[in-house]
Structure 1
Amino acid sequence: MREVFQQELREVQDRLVEISELVAVSIDKATRAFNDSDVSLAEEVIADDSKIDGLTITLDELAITILARQQPVARDLRIVVSALRISASLERMGDMSTHIAQLARYRFPDKVVPKTLRGTFAEMGRLDVEIANKLTELLKAEDMQLAETIRNEDDKIDALHLSVFDKVLGETWKGEAADTVDATLASRYHERFADHAVSIAKKVQYLATGDWDPDHSSDASR
């Protein structure tokens, strides 16, 4: 029975990695669709979100079955419960990608934001893709250096997010009301994507080391 239990725990980890890989593909396509006004890519992201949702539900059902049948304790229990929370964050990351893609589709054939902000959003998208790829590696290997890198990259996105608000609220902003709404929404989606990644990184770090750092807490439930 113990061997079966360990196999089930490995399957939980494998499924988390699979979902994370799909999320990385999703944010990559979403940011390219957003920056290039590529409606075909946007449609792919929107359509593929159901795959992420479906895999998340399947993983949650497996985790609940493990809790019911195996009644894990100590670290094994933390692994299963953390998997449920991590899968929820991954699902939300997929949603953020979808929201970014929906903005691109809605504004097609125009670009979502004015020229003055395109460089900022290109950098936010690059950082989100980088974070997503590092998160997948973290879930595979539990490399704590990756967890710290994700946090550092999130700080950069937070700074860019604030710069967008400074721009649209500044006296020199010439955008229409729709431009202001789109820019603030898009910035928020990019920022929340990274926040969920930080939340996952913290959970992985806690499982690996037993240490919880409240100074780097992230309210990813928003």
Structure 2
Amino acid sequence: MREAYQEQLGKLAEELAAMSTMVGTAMEHATKALLDTDLSLAEQVIDDDLRVDEARARSEEHAFGLLALQAPVAGDLRTVISTIHVAEDLERMGDLALHVAKAARRRHPQPVLPEDVRPVFDQMGKIAVKLAGRLHDIIQNQDADSAHAMEAADDEMDDLHRHLFTVMMSSEWEHGVAAAVDVTLLGRFYERFADHAVAVARRVVFIVTGQMPND
């Protein structure tokens, strides 16, 4: 019975790892749609978001099933409860990629981004995809050391996010209020994507060690 239960916990981790890959792909495609004014790719991200929602529902159903059918000890209970939080964070990461794709669709055929901030968003997109990719391995392997290292990439994202405000506050900004609003919102989407990735990593540390890392 105990061996079967551990196997189910392993399958739960695989489901979450697969979700991290899905949201990473969603943000990669959303960023490309944003930078290339690619309507079909934006539509694909929007359509595929349902798959992320369904994956969260399956993971939560699986987790609640383990709670209902078993009597988990402290470590296992920690894992199952944390899984529910992780699935929520991953779904929100998918939603943030969805918001980016919707922005690209809303402004099509016009580009959303002024030329002078495109390199920043290109880099933010790469960091977001890198974070999601790392999450796959962290969740799959329950790797607390790699989870701790996620903070550095999040710092990179925060630095880029702050840089956007420097650009918009500059006297050289000549793109008007509407463009500034778009850039502000989009920058926030990428920043929050990274924040949720770090939250997932911290949950993995909690699962492995029993303690949440300090901010």
TM, length-normalised to structure 1: 0.92
Q: Give SS of 2:130's match.
A: helix
Which residue in the other structure is 1:111 paired with?
111
Q: Give the number of aligned pairs.
A: 215
Which residue in the other structure is 2:80 paired with?
80
Which residue in the other structure is 1:158 paired with?
158
Q: Give SS of 2:175's match.
A: coil
Structure 1: gaps spanning 5 or more residues: 217-222
5 Å-filtered alignment, 1:1-222, equals: 1-214=1-214, 216=215
* Cα distance in 2 between the residues matched to 1:54 and 1:65: 16
Tell me the amino acid that sits aligned with residue 205 of structure 1.
V
Native 8 Å contact 2:148 2:202 kept in 1: no
* Cα distance in 2 between the residues matched to 1:174 and 1:212: 45
TM, length-normalised to structure 2: 0.95
Deviations 1:101-141 (A, max 9, x none): 11111111222110111111111111111111111111112
Shift of 1:164: 0.9
* Cα distance in 1 between the residues matched to 2:5 and 2:145: 29
Identify if the C-alpha distance between structure 1 residues 202 and 47 changes in structure 2 by more than 3 Å, giving closer, same or farther.
same
Structure 2: gaps spanning 5 or more residues: none
Deviations 1:64-111 (A, max 9, x none): 111111121210000000000000000000000000111111111222
Instruction: Tell which has more relative contact order, 1 or 2 (C-alpha 8 A, sep 6+).
Output: 2
